[in-house]
Amino acid sequence: MRIASRSYIDNLSYGLARASQTLQRLSIQLSSAKRVTKASDDPVGVGEILRRHADLAAAISRQRTIHAGLRTAGAGDAALDDIGVGLGKISTLIIQANNSSTPAPALRAIANEVRSVAGKIRDDANTSVAGRYLFAGLLDQTMPFVEGPPGTITYQGDSSEQNVPVAPGRTTPVTIAGDYLLNFEDAGGERAIAGLDKDAFTVLEETAQAIEDKQLTELEQLSEEVELLRDHAVQCRAKMGVYVQRLQAAENVAKDHEVETRRMLGESEDVDIAQAVLELKSVELTYQAALLAVGQVAQLPTLFEVAYR
């Protein structure tokens, strides 16, 4: 085929343009470490990548909420432990007091200690984390246990539990309602502990009073009630333990999901460096060959130069 002089240059310029486009694509891939930098690089892959990014964001967000739940549940668990310890201490004090030979001043001192421990239990039950009272149900901005009429404590919260999302469409409670924990009447007038028709603070105040008054028979009965409260506190802690386990399991699932999503995302999104470098080398050679060809063609003499030297 006859080749026009203009075609030499046009052809070389066409080839150079193509090679430089490929060079640019590969250098962008290598510099960004991403196989796909714009939607048209791999349209199907882009859909997949965006879905995986959404999954990854969801997994990370889920871990954050679960972690917040674990912080709340952890603080609740510690408070419940303290409440259980306090009730145990009161049981010990009742045993000390339940002795006919104990002198009145000593009984007064024990009664005061019972009241002090009851105050500590109240403080534990009013624990708050990040401005939210743990045992106030959903009325978590209000201190749940406050002084009522002299010698009584009233409950200001409700009977709900605070929830955190742990999986799509699934939540787990991270608190225990204060009325349930300390045997206050709920909205329906029911109490958590069967057979105990008093709240914990009433039992503790009656205990202190019975010790002070050396009412040993009554103290026997109150000792059983304190034991009921103590058992219930242990049950509540166990319940909280179950919540924590659920949260930890959900956190593990979310973590695994994150790791797996990152792996899959890497496969779809990240450039295979070795392959890209090899491809770049190959395209570089093509490009250099094209440049060399341009150089050679530029130096080629025409017949004019030979014939009319």
Shortest Å, Cβ 170 to another protein: 9
Bridge-partner residues for 170, per DSSP?
167
Shortest Å, Cβ 281 to another protein: 23
Nearer to another protein, 132 or 214 (CB): 132
Shortest Å, Cβ 305 to another protein: 9
Shortest Å, Cβ 5 to another protein: 5
Nearer to another protein, 73 or 222 (CB): 73
* C-beta separation of 182 from 200 below 8 A: yes
Q: Would you state the torsion angle of the CA atoms of residues 178, 180, 184, 188, taken in this order, to the nearest 10 degrees?
A: 120
Nearer to another protein, 163 or 209 (CB): 163
Backbone angles phi, psi at 28, to 5 degrees: -65, -45
Picking from 153, 133, 150, the residue whose alpha carbon sits closest to that of residue 141 is 133
Q: Would you state the torsion angle of the CA atoms of residues 61, 67, 68, 72, taken in this order, to the nearest 10 degrees?
A: 160
Shortest Å, Cβ 189 to another protein: 19
Nearer to another protein, 150 or 308 (CB): 308
* C-beta separation of 265 from 53 below 8 A: yes
Nearer to another protein, 196 or 249 (CB): 249
Nearer to another protein, 34 or 115 (CB): 34
Shortest Å, Cβ 208 to another protein: 32
Q: How far apart are CA 27 and CA 22, in angstroms?
A: 9
* Positions in the binding site for another protein (CB under 8 A): 1-7, 9-11, 14, 34, 36-44, 46-51, 53-54, 57-58, 60-62, 64-65, 68-69, 72, 130-132, 136-141, 158, 160, 162-165, 168-169, 171, 302-304, 307-308
Q: Residue 212: CB partners within 8 Å, gap ≥ 6?
A: 107, 108, 111
Q: Residue 146 is encoded by which pair of tokens?
A: 């406050």
